[in-house]
Amino acid sequence: MTAGANLFEQQARNRRLTVAWLALFILFFAWLGFGGDLALYLAAAARTEGQVAYRFPWIGVVITTIAAITAWVSWRKGPQQVLWSTGARQLTAPQTFEEKQLDNVVEEMAVAAGLPKPKVYLIDDPDPNAFATGRDAATACIAVTTGLLGCVNREELQGVVAHEMGHVRNLDVRLMTLIASLVGVIVVLSNGMGRMLRGGGGFIGGRGRKASGPLLLAALVVFVLWVITLILAPFISRIMAMAVSRDREYLADATGAELTRNPAALASALQKIETHEAPTTHIKEGAAHLCIADPLGRDVNLREGRLADLLATHPPMAMRITRLKGMAFQQLKAAGQQPAT
């Protein structure tokens, strides 16, 4: 049995990948905060012939404090801001057959996942799409477009909702809300530190005794690397966030298949979503990584290779469908049934 077909192996693999990416993200953020302090420490040591003259990492402490406050505000307000930005309306009293079916399916999948029923939202957009947001299972929300309700049957809708419940159960909603907050913080800090560096000179040299030797060279190297990182930080952080997002999509597909025991239905739903031509106009770039399919219709998400691995928010849909069909094949084979050809 291949790793792509075995959903439990796929879940374990994607969890490992996500932990690795998140650890790298934290190290990157720590470098942004304390890299400048390291450069200052080395420069001060060079000027004082190795004696400790820079004792407190004020750059790292200030940046970390600002980042923590900004991230906490984004963490608390982020999910509601995402829903507001898409024009989503909460489904409190379903009226049509499609709305009642959606409400029932969300309840069924919540029971299957062993979680509280998320709040259900509708987005008036003809393009089929869906996403989950929130900080945890207690605050989770699932939003689907009216276009999705109009193009899938009940089993396919179960697959899509199970995929989104997978995001909730795997705490993807918490992870992606946190990462989106950190990316926003890094962009703000990069811009702010850039203005500070452009406005002040002598960051390494300073005044007083002329510095020289290996410590000064090390200070200059660290400082240059730190400045380059600050300049590239928004781009680098977005690439890292997209990498985590891609891994979580594979994991949510596998979890959705586990909840419904019907990976073929999710594969069929993804096929219908993929063949729809129009982008999801109500969902903008800030929420694109949350959706089951790229709402912006970018070609990079259709490709494989290193460029797509760097720039795509979603894995290639064809690859996801192939994996799900492989799961369905293995499921039928394990049950002693003859898979359809």
Band (pLDDT 50/70/90 cuts) for residue 315 is confident
DSSP single-letter state for residue 279: -
- Please indicate, yes or no, if residue 261 is contained in any of the structural domains: yes
Q: Are the C-beta atoms of 294 and 301 separated by less than 8 Å? A: yes
Band (pLDDT 50/70/90 cuts) for residue 199 is low
Three-state DSSP state, 135:
coil
Predicted local distance difference test score (pLDDT) of residue 229: 83
Residue 164 among the catalytic residues:
yes
Is the sign of the CA dihedral 284, 288, 293, 297 positive or negative? positive
- Please indicate, yes or no, if residue 341 is contained in any of the structural domains: no
- Please indicate, yes or no, if residue 265 is contained in any of the structural domains: yes
| Mean pLDDT calculated for residue range 164-186 | 78
User: How does pLDDT run across 114-158, given as a tens digit for each residue?
Assistant: 999 999 999 999 999 999 998 888 899 999 999 999 999 999 999
- Please indicate, yes or no, if residue 221 is contained in any of the structural domains: yes
Q: Which residue has the higher pLDDT, 197 or 284?
A: 284
Predicted local distance difference test score (pLDDT) of residue 85: 85
Range of the domain at 292: 7-334
Predicted local distance difference test score (pLDDT) of residue 2: 46
Band (pLDDT 50/70/90 cuts) for residue 300 is very low
Predicted local distance difference test score (pLDDT) of residue 276: 79
The interaxial angle of helices 154-169 and 263-275, nearest 10 deg, is 100
- Please indicate, yes or no, if residue 1 is contained in any of the structural domains: no
**Which amino acid is residue 86, in one-letter code?**
T
Kindly write down the DSSP assignment for every residue of 212-254, as one continuous string: -SHHHHHHHHHHHHHHHHHHHHHHHHHHHHHHHHHHHHHHHHH
Average pLDDT, the chain: 79
The total number of structural domains that make up the chain = 1
Percentage of the chain exceeding pLDDT 70 = 74
Q: Active-site residue among 156, 164, 249, 258? A: 164
Nearest to 225 by CA among 74, 54, 46, 32: 32
- Please indicate, yes or no, if residue 260 is contained in any of the structural domains: yes
What are the CA-CA distances from residue 108 to residues 79, 84, 226, 265 (Å)? 23, 26, 51, 16
- Please indicate, yes or no, if residue 2 is contained in any of the structural domains: no
Predicted local distance difference test score (pLDDT) of residue 98: 94
- Please indicate, yes or no, if residue 339 is contained in any of the structural domains: no
Reading the block at residue 205, the tokens are: 């040299």
